[in-house]
Structure formats: structure tokens, C-alpha cells
Chains A and B, each alone.
Chain A
Amino acid sequence: MQQILSFLPACLWGFFACLAFGLVFNIHGWGILICGFGGALGWFVYQAVQHMAHNDIIAAFLSAVVIAVYSELMARIRRCPVTGYLQIALLPLVPGAGIYYAMRYCVAGENEMFLSTLLHTFGFAAALAVGAMLASTIMRSLLPRFYHRH
């Protein structure tokens, strides 16, 4: 319980960050809150899985799966394209930190750390992409009746 509570502040910041990105990508109305909740949910799952499995690639994969399921459901309920919800909810997980750290190692001349951080960042991005796509594909085959591609 204590552990779960300690996850919440970051989720809250993720929520607000996604709202701000909703403005930048020109989302109006309720959609912006849906994106925010998606971002918070994804980050909660990420932290929980990382706490249990101690592997951030698996955590990224599973949180991308949860975000994709959530966005597909919301898109069906609101009859809107899933694109916006999915992309903005995934933003807190995009490895901006990985790029930054890799480049810091590069400047410091620590080539081994640079390469391993860079490869790790690629792996992280690939896990996100594959997780989201897998969940979207499964959701579409599970919900054929509601499925309108646009």
C-alpha cells in the first residue's frame, strides 16, 4: 500500500504533462482529459511492474499494452480516431532521458556507457512500439462489432 502511494505523485505530474501536450497538439474538449488519464495509468503500470520485475524493458512493454487497450476502448466509446489518445498517453514513456544520458556519456568520453545506454534506449523504444501495436491488434480482433477503422 505504501508502495502504491509512492507511485502516485509521478502519475499526477504525468497527467498534467499530458494535458499540456494536449494543448500543443490541438485537442479540444474531453479528449484532453482522456489523454491525461492514459498517461497517468501508463506510468502507474510502468512503476508497478518495475517494482516487481526490476526490468524496465518489460515494464515499458506492459505499460504500452495497457495504454493501447485503454486508448482503443476510449476511441470506441467516443467514436474518435485512436491516434491522438494513444500517442499522447505514450509520451511520458518516450525515452527522452535515455537520449540525454547517452549524450552526456558521449561528451564525457565514456564510450562503453554511451553505447550501452544508446542500445538500451533503442530497446526501450522498440518495447513501447511493439507493446502498443500488439495490444491494438488484439483489441481489434476481440471487438470486431465495434470496429470501425475510422
Chain B
Amino acid sequence: MDYDSLLNMGSELGYQLMYSGAEIYRVEESVLRLLTAYGLQPQVFAIPNCLIVSVNTPNGHPITRMRRIPAHGTDIELLERCNGLCRKLCREVLPVSEAKELIDQLGKKKQTYPTHVLLRGYMAAAMFFAAFFGGGLQDAVSAGICGLAVGGWILYIGAKLGFNGFFQTLIGAVIATQMGLWMVHLGFGSNLEAISIGTLMLLVPGMALTTAMREIMAGDIISGMSRTADAILTATAISLGVVVALAIGG
């Protein structure tokens, strides 16, 4: 059996899972199950940006692969596809070359929405959250415009300038609050809270917080703590952004 390509296959699946924003225990267990299904006894260890997979060949030779995971967002579609493929491979145990082909396809054939659809997603989310927090029709439309600006910043400008997450969120919060203030000054919207909070909801670290708690409960304290720190940093960035905008325009 070709242990090198088995190991590559397992670590590639783990890499794609990590990249989709899966919890650590899901990554570790998926790789473990996959390689166990192929008759190996792997050791898998993962922390948020590193994955280590190690196996012993029958003649006692240990081989290890380490993958570093770059900064990534959340991609539920990729997560579901990795999960489905892992289940399928554990059930059917396809030949290694075929399975490797399927796993390599995961990262290449990505099904994503085009950027302008994402931008509209940001706009709609801000609009509906403004209505959700008690804004009227005009407030919702104002929040939609603010959401468009924040979405444009995140999708087009911030990522291209190579800003790190902290400053990207901080400037996003400045844009959200400042534009909310302008909308009210111009007399277009009336409910400043609904507009600003609705737009800020685009930036809050809901994902990081929930993932962090799930990991802590699952016993992955290191990654749980680092994600909690991430969530707190993001919340701090939002707070600073709000303060800056309120101090300038309020």
C-alpha cells in the first residue's frame, strides 16, 4: 500500500476542513476515521492554524505530514462537501488513487457565490437587521446603504490592501457608525440605533464565539482559547471603531 499518498490524502482532507472553518474535533476525528478506514493507525493533532498527521508503516517506519493553515473565513458549503466525502470514503473505501482524486477536487471545484451576490447579501443583512432592531422602512433602507459600504470595504478594498482582521473590522465599524450618523443628519433615517446596530451586526464575531465555546466543551482548550481571544479582539475592534466614529461625528 502506498502510505505516502494515503498520508497526503488524509492531510489534504484535514486541510480543506480546517480551511472551511470546521471545529478542531471535527477535523481531527474526520482524518482519524478516514485513515482508520484504510487500515492505518494514525495520530492526528490540530490547533487553529496547524495540522499534524502521523502514521506508522507496518515495518515500523514513522511518517509525518504537517500542514500550516492560512487565515481563512467560514465556508459552510465546503464544510458540508468535505463531510459528505469523508463519510462516503469511510463507507465505501475506494481505491487510493480514486479517493485522492476526489479529495483534490474539493479545493479546486469550489462552489462560491460571486462577489456582487455577497455584496447584496451584506446589504440585505444590514437592512433586515435594522428592521429587526425596530427601525422603520427608511431606517432599513439607510442601513442597507451602510451595509453596502461596509460590504464593499470588506470584499473589495480591505482584503486587497492586505489589512489584518483587526483593522479591517475597526474601519468597518467606523464606516457603519459614521454613515449611520450621516443618514440621520441628512434626515433620511430617524432611528440612529437601529441603523448603526443593524450594520454593526455584519461585523460581530458570532461565528468565532460559538465555535470557541463548542471547542472548549469538546475539550480542545488551546484552540477554544485562541478563538475566544479572536472573538474578544474583534469585539474590541468594533468598540474602538464605534468610539472613533461617535467622537468625530457625534
Give the interface of A toward B (CB within 8 A): 9-10, 13-14, 16-17, 19-28, 31, 43, 79-81, 83-84, 86-87, 90-92, 94-97, 99-104, 106-107, 125, 128-130, 132-133, 136-137, 148-150
Q: Residue of A at shortest CB range from B177?
A: A100
State how many angstroms separate the Cβ of B30 from the closest Cβ of chain A.
5
Please determine whether A133 and B213 come into contact, CB atoms closer than 8 angstroms.
Answer: yes
- Complex Cα gap A149–B26 (Å): 7
Please determine whether B117 and A133 come into contact, CB atoms closer than 8 angstroms.
Answer: no
Please determine whether A81 and B22 come into contact, CB atoms closer than 8 angstroms.
Answer: yes
Q: Does B125 contact A (CB under 8 A)?
A: yes
> Which residues on B sit within 8 Å (CB–CB) of A137?
217
Q: Which of B78, B111, B132, B201 has the largest count of A CB atoms less than 10 A from its CB?
A: B132
Further 11 A-B residue pairs, CB within 8 A, beyond A26-B75, A26-B76: A14-B128, A14-B132, A21-B121, A23-B120, A79-B84, A81-B26, A81-B83, A84-B79, A94-B205, A107-B246, A129-B209
Q: Residue of A at shortest CB range from B125?
A: A20
Please determine whether B204 and A83 come into contact, CB atoms closer than 8 angstroms.
Answer: no
Q: Residue of A at shortest CB range from B30?
A: A150
Please determine whether A107 and B22 come into contact, CB atoms closer than 8 angstroms.
Answer: no
Q: Residue of B at shortest CB range from A93?
A: B206
Q: Residue of B at shortest CB range from A134?
A: B217
Top 9 closest A-B pairs, CB basis? A23-B121, A20-B125, A84-B76, A17-B128, A20-B124, A129-B213, A13-B132, A94-B206, A13-B131
State how many angstroms separate the Cβ of A53 from the closest Cβ of chain B.
21
The residue that A99 contacts in the complex, of B121, B193, B202, B204, with Cβ under 8 A, is: B204
Q: Which of B73, B196, B207 has the largest count of A CB atoms less than 10 A from its CB?
A: B207
Q: Which residues between 197 and 250 of chain B lie within 8 Å of chain A, taking CB atoms?
A: 197, 200-207, 209-214, 217, 235, 238-239, 242-243, 246-247, 250
Given known pairs A83-B211, A107-B247, A149-B26, the reply for A100 and B121 (CB within 8 Å) is no
- Complex Cα gap A17–B197 (Å): 13
- Complex Cα gap A92–B125 (Å): 10
Give the interface of B toward A (CB within 8 A): 21-23, 25-26, 29-30, 33, 73-80, 83-84, 86-87, 111-113, 117-118, 120-125, 127-129, 131-134, 193, 196-197, 200-207, 209-214, 217, 235, 238-239, 242-243, 246-247, 250
> Which residues on B sit within 8 Å (CB–CB) of A129?
209-210, 212-213
Please determine whether A100 and B200 come into contact, CB atoms closer than 8 angstroms.
Answer: yes
Please determine whether A149 and B210 come into contact, CB atoms closer than 8 angstroms.
Answer: no
The residue that A94 contacts in the complex, of B83, B124, B127, B209, with Cβ under 8 A, is: B209
The residue that B242 contacts in the complex, of A9, A43, A100, A149, with Cβ under 8 A, is: A100
- Complex Cα gap A103–B240 (Å): 8
Please determine whether A10 and B204 come into contact, CB atoms closer than 8 angstroms.
Answer: no
> Which residues on B sit within 8 Å (CB–CB) of A28?
77, 111
> Which residues on B sit within 8 Å (CB–CB) of A43?
132
> Which residues on B sit within 8 Å (CB–CB) of A96?
197, 200-201, 203-204, 238
- Complex Cα gap A97–B133 (Å): 9
Please determine whether A10 and B210 come into contact, CB atoms closer than 8 angstroms.
Answer: no
Please determine whether A103 and B242 come into contact, CB atoms closer than 8 angstroms.
Answer: yes
- Complex Cα gap A25–B117 (Å): 12
Q: Which of B79, B206, B250 has the largest count of A CB atoms less than 10 A from its CB?
A: B206
Please determine whether A80 and B80 come into contact, CB atoms closer than 8 angstroms.
Answer: yes
The residue that A104 contacts in the complex, of B118, B121, B211, B246, with Cβ under 8 A, is: B246
| 15 pairs, CB–CB < 8 Å, chain A vs chain B | A16-B124, A17-B201, A20-B125, A26-B111, A28-B77, A83-B211, A84-B76, A87-B206, A96-B201, A96-B203, A97-B133, A97-B193, A107-B246, A130-B213, A137-B217
Please determine whether A10 and B246 come into contact, CB atoms closer than 8 angstroms.
Answer: no
> Which residues on A sit within 8 Å (CB–CB) of B133?
97
